[in-house]
């Protein structure tokens, strides 16, 4: 019997690929497929594949249909919005995300964006380098996390990590999730489940941590933004389209909210003419929140562990179940 075959379809640098494939279990083989290769070339590798790992590449429908032996499509990322989940469901191929392997990194970035806005870090750095000592700080425009109410939209792996971090700064936490935690979990985490409208109205900081689906697209809508306090800030380190970007731009321009910290945008790479890039009350990063050297080891360990679990007849973990019409 041939060794179980894993095909890694990717767009990653060689150094990272070597880290990922070093976790290949004994008795398994991993074949590498550049995600930019024509579909015909990819078909040759997946026809006898038992598992597919995908990262920074698109899994083409034709490739998926040709993978008749595949038992699991394993993602190295948390998001799955570029996967054809409907087709996978039809083909009865389960899809798993990274099991929260990058949750520490994304939670760190969310906190970084909060503090950068509250302390006017980017403006202060620029002014100091330019010899304008303390120019951006007037005594009334910087803030502390202590005592603030943080509203988390999406209380999955990342959302819970964010809750723990902001509580370390003496902030309080409320959250909205389509599937709220149990009362016991809420008590253990010292967080409160609230309706989405209440979260928009009462939070000092709103931070987004949910996958992109038809249900979450523009969950931060113009109506929701209109409910926010004028002193509130909005963070998004999930997927750009969960926020209505045009509504956010209008609110920031008109001073209806205080600021925004964005790692993601509705169009990526972000257009250089995007007004958000020219606003002093906005801090931006290039969809890099989940990317740290540390995460690759956790991603790889979880991915191959999940694959080995399925090969041994056990159910996979971290299955994406939100198949939508």
Q: For residues 278 and 32, what is the distance between their CA atoms, to the nearest angstrom?
A: 41
Residue 116 backbone phi and psi in degrees, to 5: -60, -40
Q: In 226-256, which positions are buried (b, 16+ CB within 10 angstroms) versus exposed (e)?
A: ebbbeebbbbbbbbbbbbbbebbbebbeeee
Joined together, the tokens standing for residue 6 give 């894993």
Contact 110, 238 (CB under 8 A): no
| Active-site residue list | 239, 268, 287
Nearest CA among 207, 20, 38, 213 for reference residue 111: 207
∠ CA 33-37-40 to the nearest 5 degrees? 95
Joined together, the tokens standing for residue 106 give 């994304």
């Amino acid at each position: 019997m041939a060794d179980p075959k894993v095909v890694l379809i990717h767009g990653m640098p060689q150094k990272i690929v070597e880290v990922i494939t070093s976790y290949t279990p004994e008795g398994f083989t991993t074949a590498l497929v550049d995600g930019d290769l024509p579909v015909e070339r990819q078909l040759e590798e997946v026809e006898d594949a038992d598992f597919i790992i995908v990262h920074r590449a698109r899994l083409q429908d034709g490739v998926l249909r040709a993978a008749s032996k595949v038992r699991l499509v394993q993602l190295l990322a948390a998001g799955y919005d570029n996967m054809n989940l409907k087709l996978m469901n039809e083909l009865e191929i389960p899809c798993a995300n990274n099991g929260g392997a990058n949750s520490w990194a994304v939670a760190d970035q969310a906190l970084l964006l909060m503090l950068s806005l509250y302390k006017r870090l980017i403006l202060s750095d620029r002014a100091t380098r330019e010899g304008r000592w303390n120019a951006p700080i007037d005594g009334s425009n910087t803030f502390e996390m202590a005592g603030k109410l943080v509203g988390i939209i999406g209380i999955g792996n990342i959302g819970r990590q964010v809750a723990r971090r902001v509580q370390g700064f003496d902030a309080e936490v409320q959250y909205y999730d389509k599937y709220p935690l149990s009362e016991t979990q809420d008590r253990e985490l010292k967080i409160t489940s609230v309706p989405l409208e209440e979260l928009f109205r009462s939070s000092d900081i709103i931070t987004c941590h949910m996958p992109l689906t038809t249900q979450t697209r523009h969950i931060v809508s113009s109506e929701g933004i209109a409910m926010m306090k004028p002193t509130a800030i909005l963070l998004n380190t999930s997927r750009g389209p969960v926020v209505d970007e045009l509504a956010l731009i209008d609110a920031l321009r008109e001073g209806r909210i205080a600021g925004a910290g964005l790692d993601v945008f509705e169009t990526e790479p972000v257009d250089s003419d995007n007004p958000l890039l020219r606003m002093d009350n906005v801090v931006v990063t290039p969809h890099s929140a989940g990317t740290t050297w540390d995460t690759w080891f956790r991603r790889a360990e979880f991915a191959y562990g999940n694959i080995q679990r399925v090969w041994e007849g056990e159910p996979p973990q971290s299955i994406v179940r939100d198949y939508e019409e």
